[in-house]
Amino acid sequence: MDHLAAAESSKVGSQPRSEMLVSYAPATGERLGEVPILGPDAVRAAVERARTAQVSWALLPVEERCERILKLRDVIVDRAEELVELLARECGKPRAEGLTHEVMVTADLATYYAKRAPRLLAPREIELHLLKHRRSYVHYAPRGVVGIIAPWNFPFVIPMGDSITALLAGNAVVLKPSEVTPLIGVKCKELFDASGLPPDLFQVVTGDGRTGAALIDARPDKVVFTGAVSTGRRVAAACGERLIPCTLELGGKAAAIVCADADLERTARALVYGGFANSGQICISVERVYAHEALYEQLVERVVQLVGELRQGDPVAGDVDVGAIIFDKQLEVAKTLIADAVGKGAQLKAGGKQVVGLGSFFEPTVLAGCTQDMAVMREEIFGPIVPIMRVSDDEEAVRLANDSHLGLMGYVFTRDRDKGRRLAERVRAGTVMVNDVLTAYAAPEAPFGGVKDSGFGRVHGEEGLRDMCEVRHVSYDRIALGSRDPMWFPYSEGSYRAFAKGMRLLFRSGSVARKVLDLF
Residues acting as catalytic residues: 249, 283
| Nearest by Cα to 384 from 365, 368, 358, 370 | 365
CB closer to ligand TXE out of 291 and 406: 406
Least Cβ distance, residue 212 to ligand TXE (angstroms): 2
**DSSP letter assigned to residue 355:** P
DSSP H or E segment with residue 192: helix 182-194
Kindly tell me which residue out of 97, 179, 394, 467 binds ligand TXE, with binding defined by CB under 6 A.
179
231 counts as binding ligand TXE under rule CB under 6 A: yes
Least Cβ distance, residue 366 to ligand TXE (angstroms): 20
176 counts as binding ligand TXE under rule CB under 6 A: yes
| Nearest by Cα to 300 from 390, 391, 377 | 390
In 309-411, which residue ranges form alpha helices assigned H by DSSP?
Answer: 329-343, 375-378, 394-401
Site residues for ligand TXE, window 370-409 (CB under 6 A)? 380, 382
Q: How far apart are CA 274 and CA 441, in angstroms?
A: 12
36 counts as binding ligand TXE under rule CB under 6 A: no
The stretch among 229-237, 295-303, 346-354, 414-422 that binds ligand TXE (CB under 6 A) is 229-237
Cβ contact 207:36 at 8 Å: yes
CB closer to ligand TXE out of 209 and 447: 209
CB closer to ligand TXE out of 301 and 340: 340
CB closer to ligand TXE out of 159 and 351: 159
Tell me, residue by residue from 280 to 299, as one string, x for binding to ligand TXE by CB under 6 A and - for no binding: ---x----------------
Kindly tell me which residue out of 226, 267, 279, 365 binds ligand TXE, with binding defined by CB under 6 A.
226
* Residues counted in the chain: 520
Kindly tell me which residue out of 150, 160, 201, 338 binds ligand TXE, with binding defined by CB under 6 A.
150
Count CA within 13 A, CB hemisphere, residue 103: 26
178 counts as binding ligand TXE under rule CB under 6 A: yes
The stretch among 143-151, 167-175, 261-269, 460-468 that binds ligand TXE (CB under 6 A) is 143-151
Least Cβ distance, residue 288 to ligand TXE (angstroms): 15
The stretch among 4-12, 147-155, 294-302, 484-492 that binds ligand TXE (CB under 6 A) is 147-155
Shortest-Cβ-distance residue relative to ligand TXE: 212
182 counts as binding ligand TXE under rule CB under 6 A: no
Backbone φ and ψ for 495, nearest 5 degrees, come out as -70, -35
CB closer to ligand TXE out of 4 and 294: 4
| Nearest by Cα to 153 from 334, 327, 372 | 327
328 counts as binding ligand TXE under rule CB under 6 A: no
Site residues for ligand TXE, window 197-216 (CB under 6 A)? 208-209, 212-213, 216
6 counts as binding ligand TXE under rule CB under 6 A: no
Cβ contact 423:87 at 8 Å: no
Cβ contact 190:166 at 8 Å: no
Helix, strand or coil, per DSSP, at residue 304: helix
How many other CB atoms sit within 10 Å of the CB of residue 122? 12
Count CA within 13 A, CB hemisphere, residue 173: 28
Q: How far apart are CA 72 and CA 114, in angstroms?
A: 11
* Cβ neighbours of residue 491 closer than 8 Å, sequence gap 6 or more: none
Cβ contact 440:427 at 8 Å: no
Write the single-letter amino acid at 413.
F
- Positions touching ligand TXE (CB under 6 A) are 149-153, 176, 178-179, 208-209, 212-213, 216, 226-228, 231, 234-235, 249-251, 283, 380, 382
